[in-house]
Amino acid sequence: GAVVSQHPSRVICKSGTSVKIECRSLDFQATTMFWYRQFPKQSLMLMATSNEGSKATYEQGVEKDKFLINHASLTLSTLTVTSAHPEDSSFYICSAEKGVTDEQFFGPGTRLTVL
């Protein structure tokens, strides 16, 4: 199956700093990438949909100025959590798909802890 990687896998930062998370599709070109967030003991929540070369589409309630998404190529999307606060601590997961009728391939997730 296709592989999606995320970097870093774990990050701890101080409140007020910005954190960038990378999502790469390693062996295929992704038409669309997705960013999810998962709090402990909860299900995944879709944050935004990202298409290469265009602005991301954010879900209701997700602040686009706080969660900056850049989709620079068909194999790379980045999520930057700006001015992170403790309540942003969560498990961030990206996914990618080859086409709309195909399955999504998920990355291993990034555990963000904001002190």
Residue 95 touches other proteins, criterion: CB under 8 A = yes
Q: Looking at 12-20, 39-47, 61-69, 73-81, which segment touches other proteins (CB under 8 A)?
A: 39-47
Segment 3 to 22, residues that bind other proteins, using CB under 8 A: 4, 6
Residue 71 touches other proteins, criterion: CB under 8 A = no
Residue 101 touches other proteins, criterion: CB under 8 A = yes
Residues 20, 82, 91, 98: which binds other proteins (CB under 8 A)?
A: 91
- C-alpha atoms less than 13 angstroms from C-alpha of 102 in its C-beta half-sphere: 16
Residue 89 touches other proteins, criterion: CB under 8 A = no
Cβ distance to other proteins smaller for residue 23 or 84: 23
Q: What is the dihedral of CA 28, 30, 34, 35, to 10 degrees?
A: 50
Report CA-CA distances (Å) from 70 to 86, 101, 103.
23, 24, 22
Report CA-CA distances (Å) from 20 to 5, 42, 94, 95, 108.
14, 23, 13, 16, 16
- The gap from C-alpha 91 to its chain's centroid, in whole angstroms, comes to 10
Residues 43, 53, 54, 87: which binds other proteins (CB under 8 A)?
A: 43
Residue 49 touches other proteins, criterion: CB under 8 A = yes
